[in-house]
Structure 1
Amino acid sequence: MKLKHKNMRNRYTEYFVVLSLFFVFGCSNTKYLPEGELLYTGGSVKVKDSVIKKKDRKALEKELEGLLRPKPNKQLLGLRPKLWFYNIAGQPKKEKGFRYWLRTKVGEEPVLFSKVDLDYNASVLRNFAENKGYFKTRVSADSTVRNKRATAEYIVVPKKRYIIKSVTFPDDSLPMSRIIGRSSRRSLLKVGNPYDLDVIKAERERIDARLKERGYYYFNPDYILAKVDSSKGDHEVKIRLVIKDDVPPKALTSYKIDKIFVYPNFSISKDSVKYKSEDIVQYKDFTIIDTARTFEPRVFDRTILFKKGDLYNRKDHNLTLNRFVNLGTFSFVKNEFKISDSLPKTLDSYYYLTLLPKKFIRVEVLGKTNSASYTGSEINVNWNNRNLFRGAELLTVSVFGGADFQLSGANNGKNIYRLGTETSLTWPRFIVPFFPIQGSSEYIPRTKAALRYEYQNRTQLYALNSFKASFGYLWKENIRKEHQLNLLDVTYVSPNHVTQEYLDDIQKDEALGRIIEKQLIFGPTYSYTYTNTMQKRKKNTFYFNGELDLAGNITGLLSGANAKKNDTKEIFDVPFSQYAKIKTDFRHYLKLSKESELASRVIVGLGLPYGNSTILPTSKQFVVGGTNSIRAFRARSLGPGSYLNTITTNNYLPDQSGDFKLEFSTEYRAKLFSIVRGAAFVDAGNIWLVNADPNKPGAEFSKDFMKEIAVGAGVGLRFDVSFFILRTDLALPLRKPYLPEGERWVIKDIDFGSGAWRKDNLILNIAIGYPF
């Protein structure tokens, strides 16, 4: 009874603290107001109309409320903590120190009702409503004062909304009028739609964009006049689009491209470019003034889409600028068009390019931790040459090293060290033997060759030497679609310094032996990515990535490994791998409000070994768990299927992997305050083996795979400091697939008061960036 009474007392204490905070934040703000002033707490808009549908009326009220100025002080759970901090900080004596920081950075000065102009807001609401077709709208404004707080109320009484009865396009004899007329079927102004000034403006911009594709460089949307007649009909308007009478002659002229000048060494600090006659290089249609002979002329032929005699169009104009930026060698790109002196109705094009430093070194140092209780750091030193062969090629030579430590627990002393180097060369074009291909899209296609070596040492266990070579292509169709094709992708792994301790553990768990086997993997790989997540205004956005990995298929045909013989084929005394692997990653983002969204992800992966292989190489198998997967389980510790590793007593290597992967996550994200965002999430999934393994009962994929799905949930905080996001997620398992059937749901076992339960079930994940 005494314990129960103590708990009740603690609960009442918590209630008292919460109520006190509400009182402090809510009431004390008004006592700091200047004499005679009121705190403005916001405005509301009420639309009174029996004709408008309730849904449309509510939408209009929301739009109108967003126009009210000023905005009241920001609220959190009905309180105004930023205003409270401003008030308690007081007036600082100098522009530095804690009090100044608290008042100006954390705090927010009060929004006074004396700053609210009711008549001005009413006129803004009236204009907005009429621009949306509610002509002759009446707006009244009033205020309410209570306890030194004031609110503003606006009553909007719109008339019946006008709709478009007819749309007429320019019908004069100008050539551009015929172009506009032919594009009328794509007009944004539709008969029967409501009148909307914003749509009229968008239609003028559409017409301007159309004319820009037909050579009208000097035209702009302001040269189009929309005449609106509302005098006839029942709440209907006739819209007539015309070309203004005072349009300059050059805006009515369609231009072609004449001369093209390129300045690859332009300095933005100078007003003009000084050069000698010997600095001028004439290459095809281009006049290149390259005082330092920085680039081969063919670079500009591949990058600039305009040629002499082409009709000017905005698409090629913008694509060319984007291609120069994507070369990665210029810090500043400027383009000008001037009317040519040599030919009528032509433009000379000028490209002014400011170089980035040709050679530079970048050093990256980072700290990290993972759910396997390892903490470590990594350093990367990259030396770069942006223009190796005068063709905007990028040479990168990297040296990297890192170490992971487990300062306590079963892995104490079994640290992980890595050291390696990588060299890559990227060409800003396709390099296809015997078949030269040139891209023509907005994004420069690239060819990349890379060599990489890494030495990894797990102290007291083993070391691995890893070599990798690749050659392939990267290209983007547009901002949403990206491809990567590696024609050559070779990986060779060789063990080194395997300790007796590790060999003894292999006798207990044969799966550990696969990690130190020699591996030879080669074959083409391909990946495709589609995303529209950059469209911030869309309510639904998507991300999709598909990967295809084919290893040893041609070699298997030539060597006979595909014939399913008992003998294993080797190259240089190393068995080569044969498999087909596919992986898809689909994500959906549902925008719930300006500061919240629901993010979901589904991952499906399958690898099928064949011919020379009975299982996938360890490095190519699927794993789950960890900071970017099922966060309630430690990295690589879950699965396959219902299998639980009880053979190896030493848990230094939680490395469960499989041939088939199914994973699902959904996460609610919302801004809490300032740079802090919160999340609540649920993760589910598992991995399985395609072929049965007698040493891993329950690991094979079967018709009952849904009974072997792991489920976890949790909450997290994300700290958005603009250039990176620090993420902390606390998760716990809800379903453990390795428990006996009927006991796998463990929700009833949750006991936050038990130290033993917290140690076994609560997983803290710390990472950089969102999990997906």
Structure 2
Amino acid sequence: MNRQFYYILIISAFSLGIISCGTSKLEKGEHLYTGADIEIVTDSLSKKEKKELKEGIKENLTPKPNTSFLGLRPKLFIGNLVGETKKNKGIKHWIKTKLGEEPVLLQDVDRVFNNDIAVNYAENKGYFNARASYETKQKNKTAEVKYTLKPGQRYIIKDFTYELDSTTIGKAIAEVADKTFIKKDNPFDLDVIKAERERVDALLKERGFYFFSPDHLIVEADSTVTEDAEVSMKAMLKETTPELAKKKFRINKVVVFADYNVNELTRKGYEIPYNTDSLEIYDQMYIIDPDNRFNPKMFDNSLQFETGEIYSRKDHNLTLYRLNSLGVYKFVKNEFFIADSAKNLFDVYYLLTPNEMQTLRLETTAKSNSADFVGGEVNLNWTHRNIFKRAEQLRFSTYTSLGMQVGGKRDDNNIYKTGASLELSIPRLITPFKLDVSGGFVPRTNAKIGYEYINRSSLYALHNFNTSFGYLWKHNRRIEHELKLFDVSLVYSQNVTDKYKDLMEDNPVLQRVVEDQLIFGPIYSFTYTTTMYPKRNTVYYRGMIDLAGNITGLVTGADAKEDKQKEIFDIPFSQFAKMEHDFRYYHDFSKRHSIATRLIAGIAYPYGNSEYIPFSRQFFAGGTNSVRAFRARTLGPGSYNPEDQDASFFFDQGGDIRLEMNLEYRAKLWKFLNFAAFVDAGNIWLVNEDEERPGGKFSKNWYKEIAMGAGLGVRFDFSILILRLDLAIPIRVPYYAEDERWRFDDIDLGDSQWRKDNLMLNIAIGYPF
């Protein structure tokens, strides 16, 4: 109790220091600005409308007060602690500017200006007769400004029309006017008016009006049409709209500088616009590539414009997206030049600056996981981005890693891995059948071959050869497909020690780890995501199906259960069907607070030539990206207790069925420091009974075998790198007796043995999902 008292005393003193330090260094007469309080005085608005109006006004007020968390101002505390810096560089300046903040004072607040902002914002939302006032509330060395707004009645749109003439652009606007965002009986809203102008502009860009701008469209509102709170609105072209913006343009020439370098062009005397009279035309394009670094066929699927067609912003953007996704260019830029103003023709130029064609990268990594392994890895990667002059990328990589056991409940063995792979990625589809590859991304044909050697000292060694061939393509930014026509893995063991053979006698499941395996078949995955869009609600889904040895098994009549197991190269090939679904949902409460959820469900079913799913294709649970309160790959299957196994180490527990759910609350504390609180639940199960792992088979009582863990985490978000530390404890353990699986009563943070057995620290790179 005395120790806990001192802890509480220290924390309280530190918190008090953070609170008081922000104000203790203020000069006489200065007050720390703590923010604005908005009061909406009206009986005509609902609570929701008042809340939206209040939040909108508050968002536009300046300046923002110092960052606070649970009533504390840690960044202000750090800024004051560091003090003044004489230089604009060095560690002290970095701490002052990145971790700390300067105090925001009352004298920094222009209260009259903010009062006007409150009125203007209300009027932009339709409250035309709004009035506001403010008062300053001071307490000790802090100050708050209270703004009181009387919005009055909100004006409603009585009618809205377009006033247009019979010119080309007038007719074009008339064609899209019926889909207007400005609707009768809706409240007046300036943001909706802006969105309508942008909508018309976007549609005109698809009809050739390249030089048109939203500013060329004006919307007038008349609030005097009736005595009620109504407004009559009409839209029209501004009289000052330039003639160029009213013209519908067509493409004249498409000119590509395939190896653009502004210094080289100047030295060689090239100018833009460029005289193309002496150039040959390739598929309606002029290609300028003096050193012949690129094959013109590379642009077949990328450039969308053709001579004579009407300009389209969609084709404009699609071309840029595809050129960027080739992966061979560092900068992609285009320019338009009027070729014939009388005929409304212009030339389009693409100025393409290549990346370095070859790169060599060496990486070193330190690793730690929840299975008490630490170690490191060295990677060497070589890439050629234009190996056959059509943006084909050839990648060679090799790596070596070592993992060593440090602590834990049991002795384990060092794991040594080394491997290499060669991958060719071609920016087009090489296929006898047709795939729908419409969209802004270049489809790819991928071929890969690789080898990996795994040595688990004093136990066994494994050789793993793999090769694959398939396609990757996108419809748009949200939807991605990957189809591997064949994915082949050949695994065989070597140097299986007597120690491991003895273990296999007591644990036959270990035999499957070192069995020779031949796995081949197609794999298809589908991904849908909206996480790249700045929305409050975003989703991610990935579905995968893996069909191994199906046609071969059916043709040969293979059946492992009836002693008809077939072999290829003296190795029984695997036959199974596997499916997995990964669904994630993200919701942002605000810029600083959000939740992330995930649901994973999968099943793998062996049949025909196989009684079991190959170890490398099974599901696993536990670890840094799974149920974090359990060591990696040691959870399950079902209610089986891995501690009952007669082995000197924890071996990986695989399953045929997986169900996992995760919920995580995320909060942004400082610029790069984030906090998380999470709950994980899930398990794996077997399709068939396994005598060596009792309780592992999936049954009607599966829900009673769900494991659960909870914990807290911190994440250091350095933009290019996210370092994650998650501390978790088990709160439901499926391999205990049914009435003892919930572990709330056993939590004892003061017991060192309990902490050693139950606290699980996960260190990882990136978010878990």
- Same fold (TM > 0.5): yes
| Distance in structure 1 (CA, Å) of the matches to 2:610 and 2:98 | 62
Deviation at 1:432, TM superposition (A): 0.6
Question: What secondary structure sits across from 1:280 in the alignment?
Answer: coil
Instruction: Tell me, yes or no, if the aligned pair for 1:167 and 1:239 is still in contact at 8 Å.
Output: yes
Deviation at 1:173, TM superposition (A): 0.7
Q: 2:197 aligns with which of 198, 204, 215?
A: 204
Deviation at 1:204, TM superposition (A): 0.5
The answer to whether residue 234 in structure 2 is matched with residue 237 in structure 1 is: no
| Equivalent position of 1:504 in the other structure | 502
| Equivalent position of 1:195 in the other structure | 188
The answer to whether residue 592 in structure 2 is matched with residue 598 in structure 1 is: no
Bigger CA drift: 118-127 or 744-753? 744-753
Q: 1:266 aligns with which of 237, 260, 264?
A: 260
Output the amino acid matched with 2:283: K
| Equivalent position of 2:419 in the other structure | 420
Deviation at 1:114, TM superposition (A): 1.9
| Distance in structure 1 (CA, Å) of the matches to 2:374 and 2:727 | 17
Task: Indicate how the Cα distance of structure 1 residues 46 and 401 shifts in structure 2: closer, same or farther if over 3 A, else same.
Answer: same
Output the amino acid matched with 1:519: Q
Deviation at 1:675, TM superposition (A): 2.0
The answer to whether residue 467 in structure 2 is matched with residue 474 in structure 1 is: no
Q: 1:582 aligns with which of 579, 583, 587?
A: 579
Question: What secondary structure sits across from 1:469 in the alignment?
Answer: strand
Instruction: Tell me, yes or no, if the aligned pair for 1:550 and 1:581 is still in contact at 8 Å.
Output: yes
5+ residue gaps, structure 2 = none
Deviation at 1:76, TM superposition (A): 2.5
Bigger CA drift: 708-717 or 503-512? 708-717
Deviation at 1:729, TM superposition (A): 1.1
Task: Indicate how the Cα distance of structure 1 residues 622 and 97 shifts in structure 2: closer, same or farther if over 3 A, else same.
Answer: closer
Instruction: Spell out, residue by residue over 1:245-291, the C-alpha distance to the aligned partner (whole angstroms, 9 max, x if none).
Output: 22222211111111111111111446756469999342120011111
Task: Indicate how the Cα distance of structure 1 residues 617 and 31 shifts in structure 2: closer, same or farther if over 3 A, else same.
Answer: closer
Q: 1:544 aligns with which of 537, 541, 545?
A: 541
| Distance in structure 1 (CA, Å) of the matches to 2:559 and 2:348 | 59
The answer to whether residue 489 in structure 2 is matched with residue 491 in structure 1 is: yes
Bigger CA drift: 187-196 or 150-159? 150-159
Deviation at 1:205, TM superposition (A): 0.7
Deviation at 1:215, TM superposition (A): 0.5
Question: What secondary structure sits across from 2:669 in the alignment?
Answer: strand
The answer to whether residue 156 in structure 2 is matched with residue 157 in structure 1 is: no
| Distance in structure 1 (CA, Å) of the matches to 2:436 and 2:151 | 59
Bigger CA drift: 547-556 or 91-100? 91-100
Deviation at 1:30, TM superposition (A): 3.2
Deviation at 1:770, TM superposition (A): 1.0
Bigger CA drift: 502-511 or 669-678? 669-678
Task: Indicate how the Cα distance of structure 1 residues 589 and 409 shifts in structure 2: closer, same or farther if over 3 A, else same.
Answer: closer
Instruction: Spell out, residue by residue over 1:132-171, the C-alpha distance to the aligned partner (whole angstroms, 9 max, x if none).
Output: 1111211112212232332212111112111111111133
The answer to whether residue 177 in structure 2 is matched with residue 184 in structure 1 is: yes
Deviation at 1:585, TM superposition (A): 0.5
| Distance in structure 1 (CA, Å) of the matches to 2:153 and 2:618 | 65
Task: Indicate how the Cα distance of structure 1 residues 285 and 499 shifts in structure 2: closer, same or farther if over 3 A, else same.
Answer: same
Bigger CA drift: 146-155 or 574-583? 146-155
Q: 2:516 aligns with which of 515, 518, 540?
A: 518
Output the amino acid matched with 1:329: V
| Distance in structure 2 (CA, Å) of the matches to 1:278 and 1:345 | 21
| Equivalent position of 2:707 in the other structure | 710
| Equivalent position of 2:347 in the other structure | 348
| Equivalent position of 1:741 in the other structure | 738
Output the amino acid matched with 1:76: F
Bigger CA drift: 29-38 or 51-60? 29-38
Bigger CA drift: 216-225 or 636-645? 636-645
| Distance in structure 2 (CA, Å) of the matches to 1:771 and 1:672 | 19
Instruction: Tell me, yes or no, if the aligned pair for 2:582 and 2:598 is still in contact at 8 Å.
Output: yes
| Equivalent position of 1:447 in the other structure | 445
Output the amino acid matched with 2:323: F
Q: 1:64 aligns with which of 57, 72, 90?
A: 57
Deviation at 1:22, TM superposition (A): 4.7
Bigger CA drift: 83-92 or 605-614? 83-92
Bigger CA drift: 228-237 or 463-472? 228-237
Instruction: Spell out, residue by residue over 1:512-562, the C-alpha distance to the aligned partner (whole angstroms, 9 max, x if none).
Output: 0111111000000000011111122x2221111100000011111221216
Q: 2:72 aligns with which of 79, 85, 106?
A: 79
**What CA RMSD, in Å, does the superposition of the two structures yield over aligned residues?**
2.1
* Alignment size in residue pairs: 763
The answer to whether residue 409 in structure 2 is matched with residue 429 in structure 1 is: no
Deviation at 1:320, TM superposition (A): 0.1
Task: Indicate how the Cα distance of structure 1 residues 57 and 615 shifts in structure 2: closer, same or farther if over 3 A, else same.
Answer: same
| Equivalent position of 1:3 in the other structure | none
Task: Indicate how the Cα distance of structure 1 residues 692 and 164 shifts in structure 2: closer, same or farther if over 3 A, else same.
Answer: same
Superposition pairs of residues 16-35 of structure 1, within 5 angstroms: 16-35=9-28
The answer to whether residue 111 in structure 2 is matched with residue 112 in structure 1 is: no
Instruction: Tell me, yes or no, if the aligned pair for 1:165 and 1:192 is still in contact at 8 Å.
Output: yes
| Distance in structure 2 (CA, Å) of the matches to 1:720 and 1:41 | 27
Instruction: Spell out, residue by residue over 1:568-611, the C-alpha distance to the aligned partner (whole angstroms, 9 max, x if none).
Output: 11111110010000000111112122111111111111011110
| Distance in structure 2 (CA, Å) of the matches to 1:706 and 1:62 | 43
Instruction: Tell me, yes or no, if the aligned pair for 2:490 and 2:518 is still in contact at 8 Å.
Output: yes
Output the amino acid matched with 2:500: Y
| Distance in structure 1 (CA, Å) of the matches to 2:753 and 2:10 | 31
Q: 1:621 aligns with which of 609, 618, 622?
A: 618
Output the amino acid matched with 1:313: S
Bigger CA drift: 93-102 or 621-630? 93-102
| Equivalent position of 1:336 in the other structure | 335
| Distance in structure 2 (CA, Å) of the matches to 1:732 and 1:60 | 43
| Distance in structure 1 (CA, Å) of the matches to 2:506 and 2:64 | 69
| Equivalent position of 2:760 in the other structure | 763
Question: What secondary structure sits across from 1:83 in the alignment?
Answer: helix
Instruction: Tell me, yes or no, if the aligned pair for 1:642 and 1:708 is still in contact at 8 Å.
Output: yes
The answer to whether residue 554 in structure 2 is matched with residue 557 in structure 1 is: yes
Deviation at 1:411, TM superposition (A): 6.3
Instruction: Spell out, residue by residue over 1:193-240, the C-alpha distance to the aligned partner (whole angstroms, 9 max, x if none).
Output: 111111111101100111000011111111111111111121111111
Instruction: Spell out, residue by residue over 1:696-747, the C-alpha distance to the aligned partner (whole angstroms, 9 max, x if none).
Output: 2211111111111111111111111221111111111111111122222222
Output the amino acid matched with 1:86: G
| Distance in structure 2 (CA, Å) of the matches to 1:86 and 1:257 | 58
Instruction: Tell me, yes or no, if the aligned pair for 1:508 and 1:647 is still in contact at 8 Å.
Output: no
Q: Please give the TM-score of this superposition, normalised by the length of structure 1.
A: 0.95
| Distance in structure 2 (CA, Å) of the matches to 1:241 and 1:22 | 58
| Distance in structure 2 (CA, Å) of the matches to 1:456 and 1:58 | 60
Instruction: Tell me, yes or no, if the aligned pair for 1:429 and 1:438 is still in contact at 8 Å.
Output: no
Task: Indicate how the Cα distance of structure 1 residues 757 and 576 shifts in structure 2: closer, same or farther if over 3 A, else same.
Answer: same
Q: 1:252 aligns with which of 225, 246, 252?
A: 246
Instruction: Tell me, yes or no, if the aligned pair for 1:547 and 1:583 is still in contact at 8 Å.
Output: yes
Instruction: Spell out, residue by residue over 1:38-77, the C-alpha distance to the aligned partner (whole angstroms, 9 max, x if none).
Output: 3222221211111111221122112212222222222222
| Equivalent position of 1:144 in the other structure | 137
| Distance in structure 1 (CA, Å) of the matches to 2:549 and 2:38 | 69
Deviation at 1:18, TM superposition (A): 4.5
| Distance in structure 2 (CA, Å) of the matches to 1:709 and 1:12 | 38
| Distance in structure 1 (CA, Å) of the matches to 2:41 and 2:463 | 76
Superposition pairs of residues 681-692 of structure 1, within 5 angstroms: 681-692=678-689
| Distance in structure 1 (CA, Å) of the matches to 2:415 and 2:5 | 51
Question: What secondary structure sits across from 1:377 in the alignment?
Answer: strand
Instruction: Tell me, yes or no, if the aligned pair for 1:509 and 1:647 is still in contact at 8 Å.
Output: no
Bigger CA drift: 640-649 or 673-682? 640-649
Instruction: Tell me, yes or no, if the aligned pair for 2:98 and 2:671 is still in contact at 8 Å.
Output: no
Instruction: Tell me, yes or no, if the aligned pair for 1:330 and 1:354 is still in contact at 8 Å.
Output: yes
Bigger CA drift: 510-519 or 140-149? 140-149
| Distance in structure 1 (CA, Å) of the matches to 2:644 and 2:457 | 22
Output the amino acid matched with 2:31: L
Q: 2:608 aligns with which of 602, 608, 611?
A: 611
| Distance in structure 1 (CA, Å) of the matches to 2:468 and 2:595 | 38
Deviation at 1:92, TM superposition (A): 4.4
